[in-house]
Amino acid sequence: MSISSAGPDEFEVIRDPLWNTIRLDPDAVRIIDTPAFQRLRHIRQLGLAYLVYPGATHTRFDHALGVFHLARRALALLQERGELTGVDPLECRVVPYAALLHDIGHYPFSHALEELDAGHVPEHHEALTARFLQEGELREVLEGIAPDAAGMVERLIRGASDSPLQGLVSGSLDLDKIEYLSRDATFCGVPYGAVDVDRLLHAITLVTDPESGKHEVGIHAKGLSALESLLFAKYQMFRNVYWHHAVRSATALYKRLVQEAVDAGAIQPAELIGRSDEGLLGLIEGRALALGSEGGERVLRRWLPALRERRLPKRALEIPGEELRHGRIESWFYSDGALVGRLENSIAAELDLPRGGVFLDYPEKPRMLELDILVRYRVGAGRLTQGGRAGLIDLPRIADELYHSARVMRIFTTERRVIEADAILPLLALPAESLRSRLDEGERLL
C-alpha cells in the first residue's frame, strides 16, 4: 500500500533550513499553489514575537510544510512496520494533506486575536478551516483527490475523525507540536525547544485502546523519555518565548489596536478573516484615516505607531500563576471583555494615564500540556493517567504543575507605573455585579 499515488519521478523538492529536503507530491504542490495556502507566507508563525526575537520572522507557510514532511515520515515508518495494513488507504493518503492544511484558517499574526471576545473576532481559526477548505481553488484541488477529501481533512484538523490516524494531526502527540517547537526554537535562537524528533517518530505506533477496542495513535514505552523531552520543551518555550513579558506586551498592544478599530467601525470582525499581517494593518490604517472620529484617531495616532515603532507598554505588576490557582480570579475576567475594559480604564484614570493606558494580561491555554495518550508496554497497553506507573515519572501531574508555573498575570501601562498586587487581587475576586457597582459609583479602586 503506497502512502502517495505519485510515482518516484513526480515529486518536487523544497530545501528547508530545519528538515533539509521536503519532498512534495503533485497534489501537495497543487494545494500549496492555491491563493489560500500562499497567504500563509504572509502570516508570522509567532505573531509579534519578532519584536523580541528578531529571527522569529518564520511563517505559517514554513511550518505547514514541516508538518507535512513529518506526517509523511511518520506514515512511512508505520507502513514499514506493517501497522497500516488495516487502515483505509484513502485515510493514509489524506493525512499528510490535513497536516499541510492544519493552519489554513489562521488570523493575521497567528493566535493573538483568538484571545479577544466573540464581539470582536468571529471564530477560532480551526472553526474557520471548513470555510477555507470549501471555497475556491483549494476545494477543487481537494475534490480532485477524493469526493470527500475536504470533509476528511476538516474532521482530522478538528480532532473529530474516526480514523486511527487522527492523533497524527490533532492530539497530545500530534506532529504540529513536534514541528513548531523545533522550528520556533531554531528561529528564535534559543536552546529551550530541543525535542528528540527521531526517537518520537520511531516510537509512534497504533495502539488498541483496552477500553474501547479502537485503534489510535499512541507511543511505545521506549519513547516515553522522548515524550518527556517534548513536554519540558513546550513548557520552556511558553515560559521563555511565547509568554515572554515583552511578547505579551506586544500582543496586548495589537489586540487593543484591533479591538478599538472594530469598536470605532473602521473594520468589521468578518474582515479579519483571510487577511495577511501587513494587509490587516494597512486596511485598519486606511479605514481609520477615512473615519475622522475620536476612536479612529486613537487607532491612527496611538496604537498603530506604537506597534510599528515598538513602543511597548511597560510592566507595572507581575503575579506568578501559581499564586492564582485556587479561585482568586472570578470567571468574568475571562469571559466579559467589556467589564475588563471598564476596569482597565478606571485604573488608568487613577494612575493619571489616558484612556486605554492600562492592559490586564493573563494568558490562558489549559490544554497546552495535556497528555491524553495510549502507551504500548512490553505487556499490554494503557493510557497515561495521574499517578503514573511504577518506574515512570507522573507526566500528567507534572504537566499540570508546569502549566501553572508558566503562567504569569501582568498589568502593563503605557507609561511607567507601579501597581501593588494587594490592590488588584481583591478586585479580580469580586463577583461581576459587585465590580460593576463599584465602577458605576466611581469608587476609588487602588
pTM: 0.93
pLDDT digits (tens, 9 = 90+) for 262-271: 999 999 999 9
**pLDDT averaged over every residue in the chain:** 92
Q: Rounded mean pLDDT of 9-18?
A: 90
Residue 27 has pLDDT above 50, yes or no: yes
Model confidence at 110, pLDDT cuts 50, 70, 90, reads: confident
pLDDT of residue 445: 94
**Taking residues 273-287, what's their average pLDDT?**
96
What burial letters (b/e) apply to 154-181, b meaning 16+ CB within 10 Å?
A: bbbbbeebebbbbbbbbbbbbbbbbbbb
More confident residue, 174 or 328: 174
SS3 category, 433: helix
- What is the CB neighbour count within 10 angstroms for residue 2? 10
Distance CA 349, CA 104 (A): 41
**Residue recorded with cell 513579558:** 245
Q: Mean pLDDT throughout 322-347? A: 90
Residue 277 contacts residue 46 (beta carbons within 8 Å): no
pLDDT for residue 173: 87
> For residues 240 and 123, which has the higher predicted lDDT (pLDDT)?
240
In percent, the amount of the chain with pLDDT more than 90 equals 76
Q: Could you tell me the pLDDT band of residue 402, with boundaries at 50, 70 and 90?
A: confident
pLDDT at 94 over 60: yes
The residue count of the chain comes to 446
Q: Residue 6 pLDDT more than 60?
A: no
CATH superfamily of 12-244: Hypothetical protein af1432 (1.10.3210.10)
Q: For residues 22 and 69, is the Cβ–Cβ distance under 8 A?
A: yes
In the chain, how long is the greatest CA-to-CA distance? Answer: 74
pLDDT value for 8 = 55
When comparing pLDDT for 370 and 185, which is higher? 185
Kindly list the domain boundaries of the chain, sorted by start residue.
12-244
Q: Does residue 439 carry a pLDDT above 70?
A: yes
153-189 pLDDT, tens digit per residue, is: 999 999 999 999 999 999 888 999 999 999 999 999 9
Please check the confidence at residue 272 and state whether its pLDDT lies above 70. yes
* Per-residue pLDDT at 388 exceeds 80: no
Supply the pLDDT for residue 2.
43
Residue 352 contacts residue 154 (beta carbons within 8 Å) = no
Name the band, by pLDDT with cuts 50, 70 and 90, for residue 389: low
Predicted confidence at residue 108, as pLDDT, reads 95
What pLDDT score was predicted for residue 385? 65
* Mean pLDDT of the region 66-74: 98
- CA Rg, the chain, in Å? 23
pLDDT at 3 over 60: no
Place of cell 484615516: 289
Pairwise CA distance, residues 391 & 355, whole Å: 56
What is the pLDDT at residue 128? 86
Residue 282 has pLDDT above 90, yes or no: yes
